């Protein structure tokens, strides 16, 4: 073990009030001294893999990440480490510039790797009513189920849905939005997903409703719709495809129609995801920035409303984590201890990121050719 590596990490953590092997819930408990070199050499990937392998632990992972990200510890690296990290960032940007990781022939990778893990996992973790795997809207809500219903109703009202309308749901997940809109607003819904398991369960749960769920890439969508919604899918589109995505949405939306984009957002423009998240959770995913979304909607849409409720994702992720831990006993036959640590690390590190306001959650309401007389924001 390099003493300098340990000293660097100790010094960085001390600046935000954390101590190696300290008594606070957010303190790291290091169990393998090789941890320090691994983290400085491999960055976020090494940190996450070391946790999965039991090299370190923390009683409150969510709070650890909230503190570390809020303090922007990466800015405190030594010149040597800053150069190393800088080279990795440059490499990632070059890969993002030269390669289209979200091209059409790669579109189904994230479905197979993440969303097809097993419906038993998602049924145990998500709310029973809607099975929404996206941020809930917690205004006035006391439960995860209510927060998810609030979110779906908010979207329907923002889209001004009325009986008889045709709604396109790009990235429809398990069909929660489609079912809610059909049941409560009398619309017919055409949904697309890149997950075979989501399609199968979504269709089962939508029986008797005017809902179709197709295993289909968004670039192949045809037809004409009164409204379009995309909830938690734009994160998989990739910067090289943002304009293509907007072109598809515009092409299939009727004149005067509304398109609601619900997406996690980054405070800065990125071309590549966090290395650990990319390898273990969402391959090829990239969070969009305000600048990137703004550029992509030029010549396609009028931006009518931009709503940020990113802090609600912290509550949502913590609720999912509580469900996962509570129900793990019934899952452990299929998901081993390494998976358990990986999944907890995913949920809690993301909760910490939203708590630190390092990530955002945006609902952007767009219109085709503008709303006559102006659009009234709904909250």
Query: Is 172 an active-site residue?
Result: no
Q: Under DSSP, is residue 23 helix (H, G, I), strand (E, B) or coil?
A: coil
- CA–CA gap between residue 102 and residue 160 (Å, rounded): 32
The position carrying tokens 């969303």 is 115
- CA–CA gap between residue 217 and residue 36 (Å, rounded): 42
- CA–CA gap between residue 111 and residue 283 (Å, rounded): 9
Q: How large is the angle between the packed helices 337-355 and 311-331, nearest 10 degrees?
A: 170
The active-site residue, picked from 58, 135, 172, 350, is 350
Q: What is the DSSP secondary structure assignment for residue 126, as one 8-state letter?
A: S
Q: Under DSSP, is residue 90 helix (H, G, I), strand (E, B) or coil?
A: helix
Q: What is the DSSP secondary structure assignment for residue 245, as one 8-state letter?
A: H
Q: What is the DSSP secondary structure assignment for residue 112, as one 8-state letter?
A: I
- The DSSP code sequence of 169-232 is EET-TTSHHHHHHHHHH--EEEEEES-HHHHHHHHHHTTTSSEEEEE--GGG--S-EEEEEEES
Q: Under DSSP, is residue 246 helix (H, G, I), strand (E, B) or coil?
A: helix
CB 127 within 8 A of CB 148: yes
Active site residues: 350
């Amino acid at each position: 073990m390099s003493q300098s590596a340990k000293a660097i990490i100790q010094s960085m953590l001390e600046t935000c009030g954390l101590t190696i092997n300290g008594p606070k819930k957010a303190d790291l408990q290091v169990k393998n001294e090789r941890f320090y070199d691994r983290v400085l050499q491999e960055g976020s990937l090494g940190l996450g893999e070391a946790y999965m392998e039991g090299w370190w632990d923390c009683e409150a992972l969510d709070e650890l990440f909230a503190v570390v990200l809020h303090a922007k510890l990466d800015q405190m690296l030594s010149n040597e480490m800053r150069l190393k990290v800088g080279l990795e960032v440059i490499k990632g940007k070059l890969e993002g510039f030269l390669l289209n990781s979200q091209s059409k022939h790669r579109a189904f990778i994230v479905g197979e790797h993440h969303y097809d893990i097993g419906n038993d996992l998602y049924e145990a973790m998500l709310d029973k009513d809607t099975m929404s795997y996206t941020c809930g809207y917690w205004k006035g809500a006391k439960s995860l189920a209510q927060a998810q219903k609030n979110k779906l109703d908010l979207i329907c009202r923002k889209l001004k849905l009325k009986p008889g309308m045709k709604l396109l749901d790009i990235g429809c997940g398990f069909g929660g939005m489609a079912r809610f809109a059909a049941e409560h607003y009398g619309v017919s819904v055409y949904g697309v997903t890149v997950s075979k398991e989501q399609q199968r369960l979504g269709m089962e749960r939508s029986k008797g409703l005017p809902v179709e769920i197709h295993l289909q890439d968004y670039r192949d969508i045809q037809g004409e719709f009164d409204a379009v919604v995309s909830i938690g899918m734009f994160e998989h589109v990739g910067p090289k495809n943002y304009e293509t995505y907007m072109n598809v949405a515009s092409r299939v939306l009727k004149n005067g129609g509304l398109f609601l984009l619900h997406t996690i957002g980054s405070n800065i423009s990125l071309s590549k995801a966090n290395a650990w998240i990319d390898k273990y959770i969402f391959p090829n995913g990239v969070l969009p920035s305000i600048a990137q979304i703004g550029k992509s909607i030029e010549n396609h849409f009028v931006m009518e409303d931009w709503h940020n409720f990113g802090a609600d994702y912290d509550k949502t992720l913590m609720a999912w984590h509580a469900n996962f831990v509570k129900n793990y006993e019934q899952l452990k036959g299929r998901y081993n201890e390494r998976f358990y640590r990986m999944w907890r690390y995913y949920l809690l590190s993301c909760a910490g990121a939203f708590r630190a306001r390092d990530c955002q959650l945006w609902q952007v309401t767009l219109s085709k050719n503008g709303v006559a007389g102006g659009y009234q924001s709904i909250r």
